[in-house]
Amino acid sequence: MLDEIDRGLVQALHIDGRAPFSRIGAVLGVSTQTVARRYRRLCAQASLRVVGLAEPRHAGRVQWLVRLTAGPHTAQDLAHALARRSDTSWVRLASGGTEILAVIQTPADASDGHALLLHDIPRTAGITAVSAHCLLHTYLGGPTAWRGRAGALSERQRRQLEPRRDESAESRPLADADHSLLTALAHDGRASHADLAAATGWSPATVARRLADLQASGALFFDVDMNDTLLGATAQALLWMSVAPAHLDRVAHTLAGHDELAFVAATTGPTNLVAQALCPDPGALHDYLTRRLGALDAIRTLESAPVLRTVKAAGPSAGPAASLPRGASPGRRPAR
């Protein structure tokens, strides 16, 4: 388990993944050396990694939450193949290891940008069922950290770490020249200006200016990949809910205020609200489902899919990209 300094460091990195250790130390009331030592230990023991991510709307991307069912002998291979693709994130094995959940990003304005959804996945051997749910609106997640990671710092400490924002720049799209920078940041959000300059062909000064602009406009945010069991979250589940449209926004805002949830989004499909629950143990998850969610009458149906393992989190996986195995599979149903 992590102590208060570790938790403060994790929250600080989520607020600004590139904040200097000296500034984090000043906010936490410890030395720069202590912050650096704790950071290295968390990287080694908690698989901590800071990743810089493009906000999908600024990047002209649409996110899809895809559920795949496969035979137990092929599900892990499929999950790892999906994890090695650059257009996927949050690849998880759930429901006894036979269900794969993944977030897939596609271009918002390209008619041929859905190859994985329309061509690769339907032709993949071993898949017995597919459903794809477009993420219409995210109420919790992305730039907003799970409260299990966000309770260590005071409001004053948070303000000291927050990067400068320019609300007038909210609508500025990303430029083509930003892609190399964002690709490098997705692998290492704390890469030095010199390393980012080498990846982009820009000067370090240009890199510094563009980073500041992207953060100020909200086009770039930072996430922290780590083992959340060290924060006490040993029971994880994806929750698929059906809510009457008239009540969807109200219910989603209510769920976004629940400490047990790390992600809440409205989706297309028969279940129009999805959430990720992180709880200390199965008993706590049961209490959450039956008491807090059970008290919301507007939730008409609820399906829970326990997450067994996260194969890929927000950042890219190591290793070369993999093609999905091709071929027909007896009994495979087409995507709808």
Reported as a single tens digit per residue, the pLDDT across 288-303 is: 999 999 999 999 999 9
pLDDT for the residue numbered 324: 61
Angstrom distance (rounded) from CA 316 to CA 322? 13
Angstrom distance (rounded) from CA 5 to CA 115? 45
Write out pLDDT tens, residues 113-126: 566 665 677 667 78
pLDDT for the residue numbered 26: 98
Nearest of 323, 321, 314 to residue 86 by alpha carbon: 321
Angstrom distance (rounded) from CA 229 to CA 208? 35
> Among 26-35, 117-126, 264-273, 289-298, where is mean pLDDT lowest?
117-126
pLDDT for the residue numbered 331: 39
Q: What is the mean pLDDT of the chain?
A: 88
Nearest of 249, 247, 236 to residue 299 by alpha carbon: 247
pLDDT for the residue numbered 107: 86
Write out pLDDT tens, residues 214-247: 988 889 999 999 988 888 899 999 999 999 999 9
Q: Does residue 274 contact residue 60 with C-beta atoms inside 8 Å?
A: no
Q: Does residue 66 contact residue 102 with C-beta atoms inside 8 Å?
A: yes
Measured CA to CA in angstroms, residue 109 lies from 8, 60, 106, 189, 329 at distances of: 40, 7, 9, 28, 32
